[in-house]
Structure 1
């Protein structure tokens, strides 16, 4: 895939994407903070709706997929335990020990932001804590490889390399990947979380990608439920999802969906256009 097929943003357009990213950050913080025993996934989704309305933003997710006959009914994908991604919010009440992944997207002035977090409700099992930490740190490994002149394959290699060096073996989802993002939520290029030795697009200033490791405590194999959205692990293992929208700037990377832009984790690679 050549760079000509990938949307390159002006620096002013990346600034607009930052606005969408900050709405996503606010929504995720609010929903994660409200997740507690007895709260339903539908109630969390309503919090996301309130954040969008408060910021005059619209949802990247609501109605997505309508052209295929199964429009997504929420503003957030909320996946619990063995539900890995694309969980539909509804009447399910959270219980103690649940592992909850929340994926949220916002549109501001025609530009998208997309990010996900995974949390534990109530009592935390050390196995689940380690799983979430591994997924989060795999994201940061990928973000550190996101710079002008590198290739998408370098991002994939950094993510996979981090996961493989861990003392615990995790499954990395292969059917679901990160992606380009900008005037649409899902754009070229795909950003796999595993490395294959093949030509991949070169990263350039003005590109924005959603990096999103998805790990399980078991294998990478998945099933899609009859609702045509919810993806579960085939072996019943729990999963974790960590995602951010990352822009390539002249000086490095800017994490558009983190409140601090990634300053605390990127070090010398942190290169905001304005914050």
Structure 2
């Protein structure tokens, strides 16, 4: 069942999502060679709790293994999503996708941004830029009267035109009182197909794009997903409310980009 949100509910969703954006900005201040993803995780959890919210990822159940142990999903280089924060220092030239979720006032926030660690190979930076652009191409189609396939088509076309591939097994999702609600939001599809979009629907759009093959494997921790060929992957995510004329982006990259300055993707 898809739940349409009232204007008041959308504002509560916005508060949770803006907190995610501010949390990711706190993380952005720290990302550099030598820092560990576990250090990033600690800062994020403290920041979220200090602002009266709960990190939704921590303890999230897993049908394949143990609950998720961290506040952030930190996925480095060939890791696509669901990387577990650890004590391995980030290195010059790495990229790290940081996915964050909050729960506040009964509603969830969810957003992700892929960061460069120091100076990164221009080919990998191009992957990040294309993935971020594709997110906004998808958002342009998140309007009343269009269909889910229009979002996926826009993302897929933009990325495949640059010879990148789109992960199929993991998709975006509805969001509200629960972090994962209906409908599923694929990053591929055909125009004019899929669920009809209606004002009040709230969804998380999150392209997961690979530099090489889209084939993926699950690591032995039963969480981390990486590319089979070990080429890099990028991941950007916004939570949006479907609007009559255009989508209302409830999360924000503005806080992150204020921190990154001219180094923003």
Same-fold call, TM > 0.5?
Answer: yes
Q: Name the residue aligned to 2:83.
A: 87
Q: Counterparts of 1:182 and 1:207 in 2: how far apart (Å)?
A: 9
1:221 aligns with 2:215: yes
Q: How does 1:65-144 map to 2 (within 5 A)?
A: 65=61, 69-144=65-140
- The answer on 1:172 being equivalent to 2:166 is yes
Q: Structure 1 residues 96 and 61, CA, compared in 2 at 3 Å: closer, same or farther?
A: same
Matches of residues 127-206 of structure 1 in structure 2 within 5 Å?
A: 127-166=123-162, 169-196=163-190, 199-206=193-200
* Offset of residue 251 of structure 1: 4.4
Give the secondary structure class of the aligned counterpart of 2:247: strand
For residue 19 of structure 1, what is the aligned residue in structure 2? 15
Is residue 23–residue 51 contact of structure 1 (8 Å, CA) maintained in 2? no
CA apart distance, 1:252: 2.4
Counterpart of 2:46 in 1: which secondary structure? helix
Q: CA deviation at 1:53?
A: 1.5
Q: 2:232 aligns with which of 225, 228, 238?
A: 238
| 1: CA distance, partners of 2:111 / 2:146 | 22
Shift of 1:198: 7.9
Contact 1:22 1:259 in 2 (8 A): no
Partner of 1:42: 38
1:207 to 201, 224, 242: 201
User: In 2, Cα distance between the equivalents of 1:154 and 1:66?
Assistant: 30
**Alpha-carbon separation, structure 2, partners of 1:127 and 1:112:** 34
Q: Deviations over 1:212-232 (max 9, x none)?
A: 001111010000011000001
Report the Cα distance in structure 2 between the residues aligned to 1:157 and 1:170, rounded to whole angstroms: 14
Q: Match of 1:63?
A: 59
Contact 1:8 1:205 in 2 (8 A): yes
Q: CA deviation at 1:90?
A: 1.5
Native 8 Å contact 1:9 1:206 kept in 2: yes
TM-score for the superposition, normalised by structure 2: 0.92
- CA 1:72–1:197 in 2, change beyond 3 Å: closer, same or farther? same
Give the Cα separation in 2 of the matches to 1:21 and 1:143. Answer: 16
- Taking the aligned partners of 1:43 and 1:157, their CA distance within structure 2 comes to 37
**Structure 1 SS opposite 2:222:** coil
Matched position secondary structure for 1:71: coil
Distance in 2 between residues matched to 1:219 and 1:68, nearest whole Å: 24
The answer to whether the Cα contact below 8 Å between 2:97 and 2:234 also exists between their aligned partners in 1 is yes
Task: Note closer, same or farther for the CA distance 1:198–1:144 as it changes in structure 2 (3 Å cut).
Answer: closer
Structure 1 stretch displaced more, 60-69 or 200-209: 60-69
